[in-house]
Amino acid sequence: MGVDFIYPEFEVIRNESRCIACRVCERQCANEVHFFSPERGIMMSDETKCVDCQRCVSLCPTRALKIIRSDCALRENANWPDSTIKEIYRQASSGGVLLSSMGTPKAYPVYWDKIVINASQVTNPSIDPLREPMETRVTLGKKPDKIRRGEDGRIVYELPPQISLSMPILFSAMSYGSLSYNAHASLARAAEELGILYNTGEGGLHEDFYCYGPNTIVQVASGRFGVHMDYLKAGSAIEIKIGQGAKPGIGGHLPGTKIVGDISRTRMIPEGTDAISPAPHHDIYSIEDLRQLVFSLKEAINYSKPIIVKVAAVHNIAAIASGIARSGADIIAIDGIRGGTGAAPTRIRDNVGIPIELALAAVDQRLREEGIRNNVSLVIGGSVRSSTDVVKAIALGADACYIATSALLALGCHLCRTCHTGKCNWGIATQNPELVKRLNPDIGSKRLVNLMTAWRHEIMELMGGMGINSIEALRGNRLMLRGVGLTEKELEILGISHAGE
Amino acid sequence: MKKEGQIRIPSGCAIAAVISKDGKKMSGDLITQAMKPMHVRSNGLGGGFAGYGIYPEYKDFYALHMFFDDRSSRISCEAFLKEYFEIVHCERIPTRKMPQITDEPIVWRYFIAPLKSMLANLQLDEKELVSRIVMKINKEQNGTYVFSSGKNMGTFKAVGYPEDVGVFYKLEEYEGYSWTGHGRYPTNTPGWWGGAHPFTLLDYSVVHNGEISSYDANRRFIEMFGYKCTLQTDTEVITYIMDYLVRVQGLTLTEAANVVAAPFWSTIEGNPDYASRRQFTYLRTVFPSLLVTGPFSIVLGYTGGLMVLNDRLKLRSMVIAEKDDRVFIASEEAAIRTMEPNAGKLRAPKGGEPVIIQVKEGAY
Ligand code: SF4
Ligand code: SF4
């Protein structure tokens, strides 16, 4: 109270004439906003705790509820926005680092929205995906430089390990622990049904999910939680996580409150301890160390699966990627500044890193200039929100896209950005069994399959419009893109022309 | 207006070709005539021909056909050539003055042999040196353009209708065992001679009808291997792809065709033959960026043969017919009938199915 008091960000508006006091909202809100007042015989709310997750709104049977942004505001000040002032109050009170979840809400330019896609007219026919084959299959992994022939003159079919995807999308790393069991089950099942891959994140792999191995990427992060021989062998690729777009330069952080039961077992750490991954891998202080880790992992799995190295998009990303491409990695994953997270220091999330579009364009171009683009596949993430973002990413040069926030939205996430509290009312980013139950993996996986199927259809439509019938012919095909409202410099980095050119 | 090479210009086209499987020589007049009935498929903004076996007296030397904007470009280019090659013979390519063809650049040919000392020095084989130098001249020397660089073959091209271009270059005076011809229908063009087809590198020549939608994906990939697409045309990138796959990677023509016009995954999976399934899968996995999509029909000329290929959906016309030792290929049957009214076995190859016509061993 007093100086620390911050007026609630949201207001709960209850239409009294509609409310039947069924108390559904009370049961649904893990933040304990709603309660019944026996004296007054009506439902009341403590708005200070509301995070605007829309759970109560979605479930209120009489549509009596709505949540609106509070208009109680400090005096307007362009230099001192409301949020900045309140953050200072919070820090003055707590002495702590500000924490947040999901991708940055700051208005960084979204280059996807400033790029438009081509279509055929007259000189070249468009292709109708309903009537003609339209291929979205991609194969990730290092390609050989030289075809070899045996004594008999036949081609020797040697190939470094590859992974094949039915469409150029993978579910990005989200650990079991930061996500619920049911969320993981949904992702794994959907990946299997779709013929794509999901990623364990840094929390190990629950024993129930080993059966999804062929559709799993197992991650090895700096904390090495849950890493053991069977785990490494379980998936169809191993990802070394160096960094993440939402928090470049620092490690993961899962609060002890989420380390319970199965999670502590899967991560192989005691219950209730915070799982804090170190900022760097303490065995990687340089690029040659990375090479050693890549090859130790390859040795461990007998060179049978590709190794992915995931980094956050930072200033020098092109040179970094070029180093990784020469380190034995088969796939490079790059995560942009707008990427999501289960928990990150706010200042880092909002200020460190670069947009993925620029990083992707710069990396693809650099790898080509150095003639090593074929050494690696390129997977990008950090806010891929729709099928058109995917198409633009592929045309800029990506082999495939990682999606995470979009997948969570499909599961019901309402982007309230409070995953780190562990009270996700949608059963996604929580370990509270009562909440976890709310996400039914049968429905969750179905919704993910629906979303991806819809995107795949849209991708095929767009490809057909361009007269392209294989996604491979779209990769790096920057002539299919034009910028709108971009500066010379931005166009130069993206390697595209302006619309009208 | 930007010149071809600074921007990409889509175009439609007419193609014809003829080859003698016995290696018998045919006058270039035959192919010139073949272009006439397809007049409407061109718009007068580019025509050209390639003939194989036309320089028997210089067959061991690379024949460079070049355009120069002016005398000084020629003089300085000659000096540059002499650093790498011995010039065995050089001359102006004979042409006719005619009202249909105007604004001609200086057109010369050089018969050259790489200097042995240079090859040893650069640790390159002959072909690699020639292709690098051609690429270098075309990229760096303004006002100079090499448009043909193979042995015992040559390309002749200009801005104009193809049937006029054939007359302009006096093709009736050349004798070859195989000929390809091309008429162009660019949607807009600054009318630059280098932009006409065929496009060549070493002894590969490509005539092409279509507009490929995979262009930039193909270009950005192939440029990793030292090729430079100075013209931004489909034909150029297809020529480099074929050179890379066949000469550099050592694929057979059929294998290369299976990369460029790869069968659909569903077709591969439905193929009952295990060995071909493996081969198709392997080639698609290794060279995904060399898949060419969008409409195209091409005739690839090389020493001793021709390869005909359509895109995998067969979005452009292309027919083949035969008579005795001769095989005829064209966008339209009418062109074939002009060359040989009695040609038979007329057929249209399927999309993605390469047809290779090889001259008998020892006959070329
Ligand atoms: S936190 Fe969510 S469930 Fe609770 S009141 Fe706010 S919107 Fe409703
Ligand atoms: S996962 Fe849950 S807590 Fe996190 S943003 Fe979405 S709804 Fe909110």
Ordered by start, the domain boundaries in chain B are: 14-358
How far is CA B7 from each of CA A126, A246, B179, rounded to the nearest angstrom? 22, 39, 30
Most informative mutation of A174, A411, A415 for ligand 2 (most atoms within 8 A of CB): A415
Q: Residue A86 belongs to what H/E stretch?
A: helix A82-94
Residue B299 near residue B17 (C-beta atoms within 8 A) = yes
Whether A114 is covered by a domain: the verdict is no
Query: How far is the alpha carbon of A144 from chain B, nearest alpha carbon, in Å?
Result: 7
For B12, the closest of A120, A123, A132 (CB atoms) is A123
On whether the pTM is more than 0.80, the answer is yes
Q: Is B249 on the interface with A (CB under 8 A)?
A: yes
Judged by average pLDDT, the poorest of A291-295, B276-280, B294-298 is: B294-298
The two most distant CA atoms of chain A are separated, in Å, by 93
Residue ending a domain, among A96, A129, A158, is A96
Structure tokens at A318: 């092109």
A160-163 CB contacts, 8 Å cutoff, 24+ apart: A160/A306, A160/A330, A161/A303, A161/A304, A161/A305, A161/A306, A161/A330, A162/A306, A162/B285, A163/A139, A163/A197, A163/A236, A163/A237, A163/A305, A163/A306
Rounded to whole angstroms, the Cα distance separating A366 from A356 reads: 15
A333 and A434 within one domain: yes
As a whole number of angstroms, the distance between CA A400 and CA A390 comes to 8
The answer to whether A135 contacts chain B (CB < 8 Å) is: yes
Is residue A362 within 8 A of residue A338, CB to CB? The reply is no
Residue A60 CB–ligand 1 contact under 6 Å: no
What pLDDT shows up at residue B198?
92
* A49: in domain: yes
Buried b (16+ CB within 10 A) or exposed e, A128-157: ebeeeebbbbbbbbbbbeebeeeeeeebeb
Angstrom distance (rounded) from CA A263 to CA A205: 9
Residues A215 and A66 in one domain: no
Going by CATH, does the domain composed of B14-358 fall within 1.20.1340.10?
no
- At B222 the pLDDT is 96
Shared-domain flag, residues A92 and A165? no
The reply to whether B94 touches chain A by the CB within 8 Å rule is: no
Please indicate whether residue A468, judged by its CB atom, sits closer than 6 Å to ligand 1: no
Rounded to whole angstroms, the Cα distance separating A399 from A374 reads 11
Residue nearest to atom 2 of ligand 2 (CA): A424
Active site (annotated) includes residue B229: no
Paired tokens of A190: 């959907």
pLDDT per residue of chain A (501 residues) written in tens, 0 to 9: 688 888 999 999 999 999 999 999 999 999 999 999 999 999 999 999 999 999 999 999 999 999 999 999 899 999 999 999 999 999 999 999 998 899 999 999 999 999 999 998 877 788 888 888 999 999 999 999 999 999 998 999 999 999 999 999 999 999 999 999 999 999 999 999 999 999 999 989 999 999 999 999 999 998 888 899 999 999 999 999 999 999 998 888 887 878 888 888 898 888 888 888 888 888 888 888 999 999 999 999 999 999 999 999 999 999 999 999 999 999 999 999 999 998 889 999 999 999 999 999 999 999 999 999 999 999 999 999 999 999 999 999 999 999 999 999 999 999 999 998 999 999 999 999 999 999 999 999 999 999 999 999 999 999 999 999 999 999 999 999 999 999 999 999 999 999 998
B28: its two tokens: 């270039």
Percent of chain B with pLDDT over 90: 72
CA distance B29 to chain A (A): 31
Measured CA to CA in angstroms, residue B249 lies from A498, B166, B252 at distances of: 37, 35, 9
CB contact under 8 Å between B249 and A470, yes or no, is no
Ligand 2 centroid to residue A184 C-alpha, Å:
14
> Which residue type does B24 have?
K
Total CB pairs under 8 A between chain A and B:
105
The average pLDDT across B41-64 equals 91
Which are the contacts of B249, defined by CB distance < 8 A and separation ≥ 6? A146, A147
User: What was the pLDDT predicted at B28?
Assistant: 94
**Ligand 2 contacts CB of residue A101 (under 6 A):** yes
What pLDDT was estimated at residue B188? 55
A61: CATH: 3.30.70.20
Dist CA B362 CA B364 (whole Å): 6
Cα–Cα distance for residue pair A60/A244, rounded to 1 Å: 37
Report the C-alpha gap between A335 and A154 in whole angstroms. 41
User: At a CB cut-off of 8 Å and minimum separation 6, what does A265 contact?
Assistant: none
Domain hosting A294: range is 138-498
- Predicted confidence (pLDDT) at residue B10 exceeds the cutoff of 80: no
- Please name which of A267, A272, A432, A243 lies closest in space to residue A344, comparing C-alpha atoms: A243
Q: A127 contacts in B (CB within 8 Å)?
A: 313
Same domain, A84 and A193: no
Any CB–CB contact under 8 A between B79 and chain A?
no
Q: Is A400 helix (H, G, I), strand (E, B) or coil?
A: strand
Q: With CA atoms as reference, report the closest residue to B280 among B262, B292, B266, B256.
A: B262
Mean pLDDT of B118-127: 89
Q: pLDDT tier at B9 (50, 70, 90 boundaries)?
A: low
Residue B193: pLDDT band (50, 70, 90) is: confident
- B335 sits in the region (left: phi over 0; alpha: psi -120 to 50; else beta) called alpha
CB spacing of B291 vs A155 below 8 angstroms: no
The catalytic residue among B13, B77, B90, B229 is B13
Cα Rg of chain B, angstroms: 19
Q: Is the pLDDT of residue B1 over 60?
A: no
Q: What is the DSSP string of A87-103?
A: HHHHHHHH-S--EE-SS
pLDDT attached to residue B2: 61
Specify the pLDDT at position A492: 97
- CA A287/CA A142 separation, integer angstroms: 19
Check residue A234 and give its pLDDT: 95
More confident site: A87 or B40: A87
Res A304: pLDDT? 96
Please indicate, yes or no, whether residues A165 and A239 belong to a single structural domain of this protein.
yes
Distance A441 CA to ligand 1 centre (A): 23
Count the alpha carbons within 13 Å of A11 in the hemisphere toward its beta carbon: 10
What is the sign, positive or negative, of the torsion defined by CA atoms of B261, B266, B268, B273?
negative
Angle at CA of residue A11, ends A8 and A16, nearest 5°: 145
Cα–Cα nearest to A478, from B117, B39, B218: B218
Tens digit of pLDDT for each residue in A138-166? 999 999 999 999 999 899 999 999 999 99
- Pairing assessment for the beta strands B144-148 and B62-68 based on DSSP bridges: antiparallel
Same domain, A76 and A153: no
Sign of CA dihedral A275, A278, A282, A285: positive
Query: CATH number, domain at A491?
Result: 3.20.20.70
A381 Cα distance to chain centroid: 6
Contacts of B297 in chain A (CB under 8 A): none
Residue A425 CB less than 6 A away from ligand 1: yes
Mean pLDDT (chain B, rounded): 90
In a domain, A113, yes or no: no
Weakest-pLDDT range from A159-168, A422-431, B185-194, B331-340: B185-194
A61 and A156 together in one domain: no
- Does residue A487 share a domain with residue A419? yes
Q: Is the CB of A275 under 6 A from ligand 1?
A: no
Residue from A491, A493, A495, A490 nearest A479 by CA:
A495
Do A408 and A340 share a domain, yes or no? yes
Q: Which among B211, B216, B286 is the nearest to A480, CB-wise? A: B216
Closest CA to A329 of A378, A280, A376: A376
Q: How many domains does chain A have?
A: 2
**Looking at A38, A71, A96, which one is the last position of a domain?**
A96
* Cα gap A419→A351, rounded to integer Å: 20
Strand partners, B108: B66, B92
Tell me if residue A322 falls in helix, strand or coil: helix
Q: Do B179 and B205 contact (CB within 8 A), yes or no?
A: no
Cis amide leading into B198 (omega within 30): yes
> Do the bridges between strand A331-335 and strand A377-381 make them parallel or antiparallel, or are there none, so unpaired?
parallel
Task: With beta carbons under 8 A apart, name residues in chain A contacting B295.
Answer: 124-125, 467
Whole-angstrom distance, CA of residue A398 vs CA of residue A377: 8
Among the residues of chain B, which ranges form H helices?
Answer: 29-34, 71-84, 116-122, 126-140, 162-168, 215-222, 234-242, 253-260, 265-270, 274-286, 333-339
Distances (CA, A) of B293 to A78, A468, B50, B299: 52, 6, 25, 16
**How would you classify residue A267: left for phi > 0, otherwise alpha for psi between -120 and 50, otherwise beta?**
alpha
CB contact under 8 A, A138 and B250: no
Contact status, residue B289 vs residue A368, Cβ threshold 8 Å: no
Q: Which helix (H) or strand (E) holds A464?
A: helix A441-466
**Which chain B residues have a beta carbon less than 8 Å from that of A466?**
213
* Cα B229 to Cα B212: distance, rounded to the nearest angstrom: 15
Domain match, A302 and A247 both = yes
Q: Are residues A346 and A494 in the same domain?
A: yes
Residue A249 near residue A351, CB atoms below 8 Å:
no
Query: Is the CB–ligand 2 distance for residue A102 below 6 Å?
Result: yes
A468's tokens: 């392209």
Q: Which residues contact A62 (CB under 8 A, 6 or more apart)?
A: A18, A19, A20, A22
CB-CB: which of A125, A473, A478 is closest to B291? A473
Indicate whether A247 and A321 sit together in one domain. Answer: yes
In this predicted structure, the answer to whether residue B12 has a pLDDT above a threshold of 70 is no
Closest CA to B301 of B184, B154, B193, B189: B154
Cβ contact, residue pair A159, B255, below 8 Å: no
CB A414 near ligand 2, within 6 Å: yes
